[in-house]
A = this chain, B = another copy of it.
Amino acid sequence: MTSATQPAGDRETRSALSRTLVISELLDKATAIFAEKGYETTTLQDIANALGVSRSALYHYVSSKEDLLTMLVEQVSQGLAEVLEELARRQDLSAPHKLASVVSLMVRQRAEHPDQFRILDRSETVLPEPARSQHLAARRKVLRELVSVIAAGTEAGEFRRVDPRTTALSVLGMCNWVAWWFRPGSDVEPVVTTVTDLVAAMLAADGEPARNAEASQTIDEIRALLDRLDRR
């Protein structure tokens, strides 16, 4: 409402950006405290203390602990669902390319903000409405898009024949589990590279045996040719 009456400009962009950065830091700090003390026993005062701000300054961004969970749902689950939907629509990208993009995005998010993902995952039963419904809808959307990328790749011969649903859920398991084992502060890139490579290998089309069969056929034809030459 307010922004509609103000002239759009650099100041507004900067303020939107700084709000995003503040929220990102806020979520990191809040989820770290939830992870340490438990969600139930953490108060907004604890979070204000950890951020080094007054409780009233914190109220500028969140009015309750539930608010923080709602922000997490928007940032983590819905954010991923939107990116995946956008990727899935792209006609210019192959299924292996799409899958690699999703995997590296997820692994990076889980490695860089492990507590955000863990708290959200462990708080599913206490999520306030409508955040809970939004979270579950986003999770279903992520699975649906991933299944359809795998099914399309299988159809196009870009992936080998696999059960798309169990495979999509296995890929999600590999990526999500990173939030439980990645050591904060260590290098994210080798993990992103390895997991992306493992997923690609898991689904690599059986191109090699096909090419082998082709080679065997060529050898047979040449052999027949040699026999003919030999007989002359």
Contacts and interface: CB of A to CB of B under 8 A. Distances in A.
A222 B222 CA distance: 8
Contacts of A175: 173
B163 A190 contact: yes
Contacts of A90: none
Interface string A117-144: 0000010010000000000000000000
B202 A208 contact: no
Contacts of A13: none
A198 B162 contact: yes
A143 to B, nearest CB: 8
Interface residues of A, number: 44
A167 B229 contact: no
Contacts of A2: none
Interface string A150-191: 000000000010110011011011111110110000000011
Contacts of A166: 190-191, 194-195, 198
Contacts of A181: 169, 172-173
Interface of A: 38, 40, 122, 125, 160, 162-163, 166-167, 169-170, 172-178, 180-181, 190-191, 194-195, 197-199, 201-204, 208-209, 211-212, 215-216, 218-219, 222-223, 225-226, 229
